[in-house]
Structure 1
Amino acid sequence: MHINEVKNNAFYQFPQWLLKEEPYKNLGDKAKLMYMLLFDRRTLSIKNKWYDDDGQIYMYFTNKQFMEELSCSEPAIIKAKKELTKFGLLKEVRQGINRPNRLYINGTKESSVQELNFLEVGTKESSVQELKKVKGINTNNINTNISILSNQQQEEVDEIRKSYDMFFEAFPKQRKNAFIQQDILADINEFGTELYQYALKLAMTNEANYPSYIERIFTSWRNEGITTLEQAKERQSKHSNSKPDKDYFFNKSSNAKPKFGPACSKY
């Protein structure tokens, strides 16, 4: 695949635990794809403020839309919904006649309570395993009888914790949950902690109220091929010198709320 195809194509996020973890890997293919579509639909939900007073996001996705997306019959859609409901991944709430049902999705039972717990209260030993899972660190040569991290690994864990804390410092209205943890780590995995923290600093400097602000930054960086902190700072410096009265990513003088970038399926 050519790099231009990667840049220009749109992709769905597919949670790996749907394929690897019990009991979720036993779901039917239609149910897994349905969850993937709902997982992606979170972007639209946040953009349209489709969330409850307690911050729980809901989606609108009719059976007809599912049938078109998955190329299957309505009985197959109903069966897939029942599977997701049985596994605790979907809750459907009726809204009345001629109104589409609200759809709420959940993460795994384990992730809802324990996923990425090293960010808050995890042990050093568990940090090794979790960091391996989310950042691809090769731990094959680590003596499993030794429960301490190398200096480099400990620094990486500390930087992820710092990024996590900075996110909620920048956006204090956001509720802590497994989905946000996953999304923070996905961004860190793509850009690294330095760039991620720099994006948060830009958000705080410009008094951004929405996590969509940093997604606009990430989208811009992707489009411009920015991969290092030096490149990001140089770009920001050039813009600040040319247009000091405007925020590059969002013009605060506008009354409009920031829109989510095309790559954002989260927060």
Structure 2
Amino acid sequence: MALSLPYYYGHSGEQYAFFRIPKLLITDSRFDGVSSDAKLLYGLLLDRMELSYRNGWVDDQNRVFIIFTVEEVMETLRCRSEKAVRLFAELDSKKGIGLIERKRQGLGKPAIIYVKNFAGDIS
């Protein structure tokens, strides 16, 4: 059964906040093997980067980092831990395509995540 929803009129479409997913993730063949969910996660991580920058979360090399836990991914994407871990692995520089780099902090602290900028790396 279809929902009975109102139409958009005028500027009413501007009422929502949006996550930005770089168009290249969809159109560039280098990312053909990356799942749509991992691309969505990358967009979420980019969104978090803005907040980290405003809060001054930079390392000693002036690189902005974020903290986004598996639990936060599970809650945001409404998925199980296995899927959240797999999505991080898909994006990671060690196991996946290299769009993020995760650094463990140890002592039960969450990993620091560096979101990489691939836009200038177009061959």
* 2:87 corresponding residue in structure 1: 80
CA offset digits 1:157-209 (Å, max 9, x no partner): xxxxxxxxxxxxxxxxxxxxxxxxxxxxxxxxxxxxxxxxxxxxxxxxxxxxx
Q: 1:102 aligns with which of 108, 112, 121?
A: 112
The structure with the larger Rg is 1
**1:36 & 1:77 partners in 2: Cα distance?**
14
Structure-2 residue corresponding to 1:42: 49
Higher helix share: 1
Distance 2:82 2:121 in 1: 33
Query: 1:58–1:103: 8 Å Cα contact kept in structure 2?
Result: yes
Runs of 4+ in structure 1 off by over 6 angstroms are none
SS of equivalent residue, structure 1 residue 61: coil
Q: Tell me the distance in 1 between the aligned counterparts of 2:39 and 2:121.
A: 22
Q: Compared with structure 1, are the counterparts of its residues 97 and 2 closer, same or farther at alpha carbon in structure 2 (3 Å cutoff)?
A: farther
The RMSD of aligned alpha carbons is 1.7
Aligned pair count reads: 113
Question: Equivalences for 1:98-247 in 2 at 5 Å?
Answer: 98-108=108-118, 111-113=119-121
> Which amino acid is 1:83 matched to?
E
1:92 is paired with a residue whose SS is strand
Identity %: 29
Q: Structure 1, unaligned stretches of length 5 or more?
A: 116-267
Deviations 1:120-171 (A, max 9, x none): xxxxxxxxxxxxxxxxxxxxxxxxxxxxxxxxxxxxxxxxxxxxxxxxxxxx
1:11 matched residue in structure 2 = 18
* Structure 1 CA distance for aligned equivalents of residues 34 and 52 of structure 2: 25
Per the alignment, residue 93 of structure 1 pairs with 103
Q: Is the 8 A contact 1:17 1:25 kept in 2?
A: no
Q: How far apart, CA to CA, are the structure 2 residues paired with 1:5 and 1:64?
A: 33
Report the Cα distance in structure 1 between the residues aligned to 2:33 and 2:121, rounded to whole angstroms: 21
TM-score calculated relative to the size of structure 1: 0.40
Separation in 2, partners of 1:27, 1:72 = 18
Q: Give TM-score scaled by structure 2 length.
A: 0.82
For structure 2, the 5+ residue unaligned runs are: 1-7
